[in-house]
Structure 1
Amino acid sequence: MQIIVGLGNPGDKYSQTRHNIGFHVIEALAKRASVVSFRDKFSARIAEATLVGERVVFVKPQTFMNLSGNALSQILTWYKLPITDTIVIHDDLDLPFGTLRLRRGGGAGGHNGVSDIVRKCGGAESIRVRCGIGRPTPPMAVADYVLSGFSGEEKGALESFVLRSADAVECVVRDGLTVAMNTFNGKGK
């Protein structure tokens, strides 16, 4: 079994922001797995499902981004799984919009949600699906940028980017991380 976590912030106010791309990918994956609904448990919205023939738990933490580790640590304890059985999908400022980067572990890269998961879940060895959102143009602050909506051009490409990100997660579950990295890393618009 694998835990697949999409990072984001709860509520309609944040639903269409750059920071919530992880939630969008989880929704796409849940649709592919014929998930009818999520339930509230462990400070998260979760759904158990079968994805490409494997048992998974889809997770959307409801603790706000900077406390994502609270929800995930409870889920890992409940399912008695190590952090290595987790796929974390999140936005990444250091990658241009539409670019994917998959890897296991590594630093948080300044991402507070990932940092909280590393701190509270026993290490940095989760699989990461980093979804590039690009950097803001000065003088816009990073915090304002990640909590803002996508530009018109980005909105036009967002659906295909989310679907490609979901394809990458499916590839990890079905074929393993190495195959997924060779297939999807660096692929942009």
Structure 2
Amino acid sequence: MKYLIAGLGNIGNEYAHTRHNIGFDIAAAFALKHEATFRSERLAYVAEAKVRGRIAVCICPTTFMNLSGKAVKYWLDKEKIPLERSLTILDDLALPLSKMRIKPEGSDGGHNGLKSIQASLNTTAYPKLRFGIGNDFPKGMQVDFVLGKWRKEEEALVQLKIEKAVIAIETFMFQGIEAAMNEINNKIYTL
């Protein structure tokens, strides 16, 4: 059984560990936990994690966020992974920092990475893990906020949520999306 774990973000040091790159950070944490190493491949950094007899192909697209769909479609096709065994991980402004949400389908919500994936796959029916980043920014400053680093006082909570997201990915792989939804959707994360 193979799964595609697609962490969304932008390549380049200036984007490392920003809110918009939380997908990369979660995919990296998952790969690290399962002793998988990323290598540069076509359209993405790729790590193959073996988890209790199942394989998780983890990708961090190197296409930049707005073209994430090219990488997701390529790796789904290359690895012959059905859409329902993929999980796309992204930042979500509409959710507070204290929340995460997994759903089997849903709109792009204005997220450019999801818009690209939706256009490439021609559907919104694919599982997503949305990591709440909140929307605590002055009017007109959304881009700076999304592309900005976490505030010092947010870092411990972000780390806790990354760990919980990694567990949710494992739950998704072994118990299915309903169990993963039950695990995180109604939780409030605090320190």
TM-score for the superposition, normalised by structure 1: 0.94
Match of 1:12 in 2: 13
Offset of 1:137 from its aligned partner? 2.4
**Counterpart of 1:183?**
183
Q: Residues 14-71 of structure 1: CA distance to partner in whole angstroms, max 9, x if unpaired? A: 0021001011111110011111x21222210001121243211000001111110011
Alpha-carbon distance change, 52 to 131 in structure 1, aligned in 2, over 3 angstroms:
farther
Match in the other structure for 1:153? 153
Q: Which amino acid aligns with 1:139?
A: K
CA distance in 1, matches of 2:82, 2:173: 16
Please name the residue that 1:139 is paired with: 139
Instruction: Provide the residue aligned with 2:44 in structure 1.
Output: 44
| 1:140 to partner: Cα distance | 4.4
Secondary structure, counterpart of 1:73 in structure 2: helix
Number of the residue aligned with 2:26: 25
Determine the C-alpha separation between the residues in 2 that align with 1:115 and 1:41. Answer: 23
Uncovered stretches (5+) of structure 1, i.e. residues with no partner: none
- What SS does structure 1 have at the residue aligned with 2:89? strand
What amino acid does structure 1 have at the position aligned with 2:71? A
3-state SS of the aligned residue for 2:95? coil
CA distance in 2, matches of 1:9, 1:177: 26
Question: Which SS does the other structure have where 2:57 is aligned?
Answer: strand
Q: Tell me how far apart the structure 2 counterparts of residues 158 and 53 of structure 1 sit (CA, whole Å).
A: 29
How far residue 84 of structure 1 moved from its aligned partner, in angstroms, is 2.4
Counterpart-to-counterpart distance in 2, 1:83 and 1:115? 16
Paired with 1:176 and 1:83, the residues of 2 have a C-alpha distance of 13
Q: CA deviation at 1:112?
A: 0.6
| Alignment partner, residue 55 of structure 1 | 55
Give the 3-state SS of the residue equivalent to 2:76 in structure 1. helix
Give the structure 1 partner of residue 114 of structure 2.
114
Q: Which residue identity does 1:19 align to in structure 2?
A: H
Report how many residues are paired.
Answer: 188
How far is 1:138 from its partner? 1.9
SS in 2 for 1:21: helix
Residues 73-115 of structure 1, C-alpha deviations (whole Å, 9 max, x = no match): 1112212233222100100000101311011111011111011
- 1:129 and 2:129 aligned: yes
Structure 2 residue runs of 5 or longer lacking an equivalent are none
The farther-off stretch of 127-136 and 151-160 is 151-160
Aligned partner of residue 186 in structure 1, secondary structure: coil
Distance 2:102 2:156 in 1: 23
CA contact (8 A) 1:5 1:88 kept: yes
Moved more, 146-155 or 133-142: 133-142
Question: RMSD of aligned C-alpha atoms?
Answer: 1.3
